[in-house]
Structure 1
């Protein structure tokens, strides 16, 4: 009898905003409030351009629009405003994300959070997860080069002690997909508020709802077969 086995990824690497939790509307509201407080105008289209970007890089755009604060102050203000919304309205989980994360943990797949939010914001989300969710945490204030640079994902793989080529990354933004793909991870794009058409994602899934460990393992097997 032939026994068919599936090879789990060396690790699962998770983006946070827009992938694990649907906090992009919180960020957009904070951005509009910040620019408006200095007499400027911030549109939905403006906000879409920043989805997945590093906070300090985004700060330069706000300064160009008349926000008279230094970059650190802008990052701190936006982060605190989003954290306030998390506390007021709760953590809006993306469909199927927490369930797949738990299933991967139960299958003993190492996991890392790879987010361009700062550590304090990441901790707010992590503490709402009712199980030990991540073996490593990489945040925007812990890397030199933010997404779309590959550094965040390479850092996560390094902290886990695994080969990035054997990891599966979950991302919702073009910037995040570019980062994970450039690092060499198998990259699952889950479009949220921006299109991932034409992105370097290994595969696009419309949702994580109903996705299983077997689905993730199949991606690893597919790369192994084509290597």
Structure 2
């Protein structure tokens, strides 16, 4: 049996004088890039640079809209109503779409960032607002969402193509949600463990939660966080391991 999977990373999160991640190197090992749009990270210069590099390397371009929270890197939940969510997604996706256009390219997908992503995973109204905003911009855009989440359900309901996402470097709660970053066991620090978990998710459709139970999971795309110190190592190891296990890395939707 031949397996296909997309490998994505959250990139373009530097801004001003602050450099985050090793984007240009990570892009050598992934098939999709989720590019920050200036709210939680990134700025117009970084957006242009990242879109240009992704275009050169034939990496799929995705908008990565987040909450307006540079200080908290978009990872702090906020009290925000669905209409505001709709508007902020339109604003950010539209800006990245313009950068794609001037680089003779087009957006492939949209993936919410951080707290907005997690909120949409459980809140059906927030999820619907994101899905409706993406559909309004382009109904052919692929909506990334945590596997089995409300965001995936909302995307399908809206008529969008959807990619169910899993995480190489995050642990899972028994309900299928990600372990909050405020907890010590939120991250998978060991690259070997991360690789083993990913191979099992792709081939067996299962991942072990922090309590030892197995979660059934669908895998269309795998995320590596570009801001983590070991992101480049994870990307290299995953790319090699997936190939060795007969899993073909292919941009979602292609």
| TM-score bracket for this pair, using the shorter chain length | 0.3 to 0.5
| Structure of greater Rg | 1
Report the TM-score when normalising by structure 2.
0.33
User: Which of structures 1 and 2 has the larger relative contact order (alpha carbons within 8 angstroms, sep 6+)?
Assistant: 1
TM-score of the two chains, using structure 1 as the length reference: 0.35
Higher strand share: 2
Structure ranking higher in helix proportion? 1
